[in-house]
Structure 1
Amino acid sequence: MAHIDYYFSTLSPYAYLAGTRLEEIAAKHGKTVNYKPLDLPALFLRTGGQLPKDRHPNRMSYRAQELPRQAKKAGLPLNMKPAFWPMNAAPSCYAIIAASRDGNGDMGKFIHAIGRSIWVEDKDVSQDDVVRACLTEAGFDPALADSDMMASADTYASNLEEAINAGAFGAPFYITDDGQQFWGQDRLDDLDAYLSGDL
């Protein structure tokens, strides 16, 4: 079945602001989504980007304006200074990988719940209880939070290499099965239009 590769990190506010629109677009066009969470700081550093803490003040000033605008457009609340960010993203990303393998819940809802935990609820998604609660909310077995973690760690590392080889450099990053790339949740309308044959 035709697919969309979705490269992202739970650390990204822009991935949170995507909501569940990717899943809606994929369903509309009969596509599956390959969820590929990755180490976002490593992706930045290996593709010429910088971590937020190292960016020029002009860039950070723009980010401080742009994120609230994007949140308003998406109709989603956003806390610009979440209590635990940036936390260790690996545990939540491992759980996403395990849930994707399992397939017995709502992936879009799970990923959005993780993002909401960070960017609205001031929770630390490196903590097992937070991840378990998000899994439960999305209809998954909460035990997936620490299921087959070695395999998930391997996939997490390979997702980074795949992303770089596929041309990704930020998150969220969407790549269609014919190689069209879309960077940012604000390009989801373009993805939809492309899949409709309008772009």
Structure 2
Amino acid sequence: MAHINYYFTVISPFAYLAGTRLEEIARKHGATITYKPLDILALFARTGGVSPKERHISRQEYRTMDLPRQARKLGLEFNLQPAHWPTNQAPASYAVIAAQNAGGGDVGALVFGLLRAVFVEERDIAQDDVIKACLEEAGFDPSLADSGLLSGAETYAGNLEDAVSAGVFGSPFYITDDGQRFWGQDKLEDLDMVLGGKL
């Protein structure tokens, strides 16, 4: 059975644009997914990247053009300047980790729900009530937001180390069990083709 390690941050607009296509691809090919939320700013610092606000103006301008364009192409609602961005990534990331460990719900739906909360619903995913609502909407016990914080923090830090070791430098980033790497929501078609033996 194929497996995909999915590295992402819960505040990535490009991870939001991925929607639920990763999960659809995994189901199509009978693949499993390990969700690995991480601190994107720490990843940038370790791999030569810079935060969006520190990038050259030409890169910033392109980003403001391309993100809405991609959202329209995908038929997704999208707010280029959400009220709560950036925000503290850690609490929502810990919730994803706790949910994945607990089982019983849909982790992909939880991740997309958190991203949608940021880029569509103008909710702050650093807030406990928002995280609990997203957990419940994805079929998880909302009290997971209050449990396993220490192990969540350890896994969160470990995900960053794993990402650096695996060659990850952005979000979303997908790695198959045979080491094939895919950066960006626009590479999901390639991931699909590789899993299907067509690329």
> Is the TM value for this pair above 0.5?
yes
- Distance, in Å, in 2 between the alignment partners of 1:108 and 1:76 is 17
Match of 1:10 in 2: 10
- Distance, in Å, in 2 between the alignment partners of 1:18 and 1:101 is 23
- Distance, in Å, in 1 between the alignment partners of 2:74 and 2:41 is 25
Match of 2:68 in 1: 68
Residue type of the alignment partner of 1:194: V
- Distance, in Å, in 2 between the alignment partners of 1:30 and 1:64 is 36
Match of 1:30 in 2: 30
Offset from partner CA, 1:80-107 (integer Å, 9 cap, x none): 0100100001000000000000111011
- Distance, in Å, in 1 between the alignment partners of 2:177 and 2:96 is 21
Residue type of the alignment partner of 2:38: L
Alignment gaps of 5+ in structure 1: none
Q: Does 1:145 align with 2:145?
A: yes
- Distance, in Å, in 2 between the alignment partners of 1:153 and 1:131 is 16
Offset from partner CA, 1:93-125 (integer Å, 9 cap, x none): 000000000111011111111001000011100
Match of 1:193 in 2: 193
Structure 1 residue ranges, 4+ long, deviating more than 2 angstroms after superposition: none
CA deviation after TM superposition for structure 1 residue 45, in Å: 1.2
CA deviation after TM superposition for structure 1 residue 161, in Å: 0.3
CA deviation after TM superposition for structure 1 residue 2, in Å: 2.7
- Distance, in Å, in 2 between the alignment partners of 1:188 and 1:73 is 15
CA deviation after TM superposition for structure 1 residue 75, in Å: 1.1
- Distance, in Å, in 2 between the alignment partners of 1:83 and 1:38 is 22
Q: How many corresponding residue pairs?
A: 199
Match of 2:134 in 1: 134
- Distance, in Å, in 2 between the alignment partners of 1:91 and 1:76 is 25
- Distance, in Å, in 2 between the alignment partners of 1:82 and 1:112 is 16
For residue 88 of structure 1, give the secondary structure of its aligned residue in structure 2.
coil
Offset from partner CA, 1:140-177 (integer Å, 9 cap, x none): 00001121100000000000000000000000000000
- Distance, in Å, in 2 between the alignment partners of 1:166 and 1:53 is 26
Q: Does 1:155 align with 2:155?
A: yes
Match of 1:86 in 2: 86
Alignment gaps of 5+ in structure 2: none
CA deviation after TM superposition for structure 1 residue 42, in Å: 0.5
Q: Is the CA contact 2:105–2:140 (under 8 Å) kept in the aligned structure 1? A: yes
- Distance, in Å, in 1 between the alignment partners of 2:18 and 2:134 is 17
Offset from partner CA, 1:51-103 (integer Å, 9 cap, x none): 11110000000000110111112211000010010000100000000000011
Match of 1:43 in 2: 43
Match of 1:100 in 2: 100
Residue type of the alignment partner of 2:3: H
Share of identical aligned residues, percent?
62
Q: Is the CA contact 2:2–2:195 (under 8 Å) kept in the aligned structure 1? A: no
What TM-score comes out, normalization by structure 1 length? 0.99
